[in-house]
Amino acid sequence: MGKQQKSGHLVLVMVPFQGHITPMLQLATILHSKGFSITIVHPELNSPNPSAHPEITFISIPDKLTESQLSDNDVAGVMRSLNKNCAAPLKQCLNKILHAHGHIAAIIYDTLMFCAQAIADDLRLPGITLRTSSATTLLLFTFFPELDERGILL
């Protein structure tokens, strides 16, 4: 039997928190087994170990998060900073990947890395969100607009 034909190139964008890294790596492994070429773009914080996944290309982008931000326990603030700080480097990275590969089939991003969808839209690429949270947490998302309107959220 010949070598398996690649189905396309996927770029996965992860957030640097363990409960999000593991599911993204699991998805990447499954997609690779289905014939996709995989690149994972990740912030510098909590970088995954590339030697544990030699079939995947890993690209680190600067997150510019400070120790004080991480120790404040302000998760919403960290997520805002992470998305703000990573947006431009992510777009540059995706442009380089597009130039090198000629095509990206889709960008799959962790829900918390929400800047990725705007970048995908700008580059006219499909964006797919990966929600790594539980079903209960998913129900909470329906209340976010009201909480934001009341000034309770973020």
List residues with catalytic annotation. 20, 110
Give the number of other Cβ atoms within 10 Å of residue 67's Cβ.
7
End-to-end CA distance of the chain: 55
Indicate the DSSP class of residue 3.
P
What separation in angstroms does the CA of 97 have from each of 30, 40, 59, 92, 139?
21, 11, 10, 9, 35
Is residue 119 a contact partner of residue 91, using CB atoms and an 8 Å limit?
yes
* Strand blocks (E) in the chain: 8-13, 36-43, 57-61, 106-110, 127-130
Amino acid sitting at position 98 = L
